[in-house]
Chain A
Amino acid sequence: MLRGLLSQPPEHFYSQAAAHITGRRLVEIQGCRRVLEIEEGHLCLDMGRWQMELYGERLAIRALEGQQLVVEGALGRAEFSPRKEERP
């Protein structure tokens, strides 16, 4: 039991990207490397090995600070996929 308490989480646990979706209006994201696309109703975020695409209405980044950002708007759909090659 003691061993379980003192054991460390998996490697790179704390540096992994994470997204917290609250209802359909707020998404808090940590570990976002880049904002790949920002268009009306569409956001594409580089999350390291994968990428996240958010679709909805009036989507906007409320705050962008380093690798943390907060997205708000009427969220319609979120898609996760392996990261594509960087577009020029």
Chain B
Amino acid sequence: MRWEEALDRIQVSVTGSQSRKVLWDWQKGTARLSRITPVLGGFTAWVARRQYSRLEGLCQKHDARVQILRTKGPGRFLAPLHARLGLVAGPLCFLAVLQLSGSLIWSVKYIDFTPEQRALVEEKLLETGLQVGQVATQEKLRQAEQELMSRENAFGWVTLNFVDGRLTAECTSAMAEGGFPQSNSWDLVAAVDGVILSQDVPMGFTQTRVGDTVTRGQVLVSCYKLDHGGQPVWQETRGQVVARFTWEYTYLQPLEMTARVEEPGGARQVEIWTGPFRRTILGEEKTGEGRREYQPLTILGLALPATLVTTYYPQYSRETFSLSQEGAAQLARYNCLCQLLEEFPGAEIQEENAEQTLEDGILTYRWTVTVAADIARPSDQPPVVEAPVE
């Protein structure tokens, strides 16, 4: 059986006084007629569908009557598709695009990320060119991984895996090393005057006890100890010494303040990024400071290998605000609190007192608090080794 017969075949009846001449002319070509069976006044035969028009032409030439009796093969099912090639071309194009875009990122999945970590990774992926719609290469993936791992205390480890268009990011958080700062070679001294509430000193030699009152600059943890021979034994120091102390801060808050405010109705530009192609679909690029938002492109929830990038070009104006005294006090307290936490991270406020005076439109806010916080700080002076007592 020839391939063309396997596709589609037609059984025809050729009748007429000159029907045998149809066979004569048919024999001049190389096409095949099968199962030629004589019938009254002619014959029946099977012919490949693509050869049918030739047979029909020969029948017309010799005044023979041709009639289709039966058809076999997939043609009857494919005929409707032939009239609407788009039904075939669409899925074929889709498969071709799917195959060709296998190296593009279609979606990014984050596993075990806190919101802060996720924001960090998203920013790094954008920097490295690993957003949805871009080509993922091993070089880019490893580079992004290394840069994320080099961030101090951000991640225990990070892995970026790219399989079949999906980029999966996984991480573990960095294990806190007991919450202690890094060890240092010199003494730990008190940052402020206070009363020690607790001590946790894994390295170094403790010089104080819980309940002791210490003064600013006093050695809390020493980096050496004299042995029996009077020779210093050195050790790095590390630890937390939590003490209760009083902290005071004064903040000047004007009742009138100016701020830059974004005006509504700023221009924006919307682009589609896929691979090396960038197409603007809305607005136009403008000069000046722009704020970008990246959003994976989806249609009815189906991820596509493209990113919708919206660039906002906000317009700012400077506006003057007038604060009430109460509002100014709240703002001043907030700034004082920020200052406290910057100097003593994790400080717990035990008592709080505030004094405020208003003069010439400026609120003077004096904030006095009793807090419990780690006061141990590395000394900026080398230790003075005491001579052994004779």
Contacts and interface: CB of A to CB of B under 8 A. Distances in A.
B2 to A, nearest CB: 9
Nearest to B42: A38
A60 B39 CA distance: 10
Interface in A16-68: 32-40, 42-43, 59-67
Given A35-B27, A38-B23, A64 B38 contact: no
A18 to B, nearest CB: 16
Given A34-B23, A35-B20, A66-B29, A40 B36 contact: no
Given A60-B38, A61-B36, A63-B32, A37 B27 contact: no
Contacts of A36: 20
Contacts, number: 56
Interface string B89-109: 000000000000000000000
Contacts of B30: 65-66
Nearest to B36: A61
Interface range, B side: 10 to 19
Interface string B1-30: 000000000000000000010011011011
Given A33-B27, A67-B27, A62 B20 contact: no
B32 A65 contact: yes
A22 to B, nearest CB: 18
A64 B5 CA distance: 13
Contacts of B249: none
A43 B26 CA distance: 17
Nearest to A36: B20
Q: Point out which of A33, A37, A38 has the most chain B C-beta atoms below 10 A from its C-beta.
A: A38
Given A60-B36, A60-B37, A63-B34, A38 B43 contact: yes
A27 to B, nearest CB: 13
Contacts of A62: 34-36
Nearest to A58: B37
Nearest to A63: B34
Contacts of A67: 27
Given A37-B20, A38-B36, A38-B38, A64 B26 contact: yes
B33 A40 contact: no
Contact of B33 (A33, A42, A59, A61): A61
A38 B23 CA distance: 10
A9 B29 CA distance: 28
A64 B29 contact: no
Contact of A38 (B20, B27, B34, B35): B20
A36 B31 CA distance: 19
A42 B31 CA distance: 24
Interface of A: 32-40, 42-43, 59-67
9 closest A-B pairs (Cβ-Cβ)?
A61-B36, A60-B37, A65-B32, A64-B33, A35-B23, A38-B38, A34-B24, A66-B30, A63-B34
Interface of B: 20, 23-24, 26-27, 29-40, 43, 45
Given A43-B38, A60-B37, 20 more contacts: A32-B27, A33-B27, A34-B24, A36-B20, A37-B20, A38-B23, A38-B43, A40-B38, A59-B38, A60-B36, A62-B35, A63-B32, A63-B33, A63-B35, A64-B27, A64-B32, A64-B34, A64-B45, A65-B30, A67-B27
22 contacts: A33-B27, A34-B27, A35-B20, A35-B24, A35-B27, A37-B20, A38-B23, A38-B43, A39-B38, A40-B38, A43-B38, A61-B35, A61-B36, A61-B37, A62-B36, A63-B33, A63-B34, A64-B26, A64-B27, A64-B45, A66-B27, A67-B27
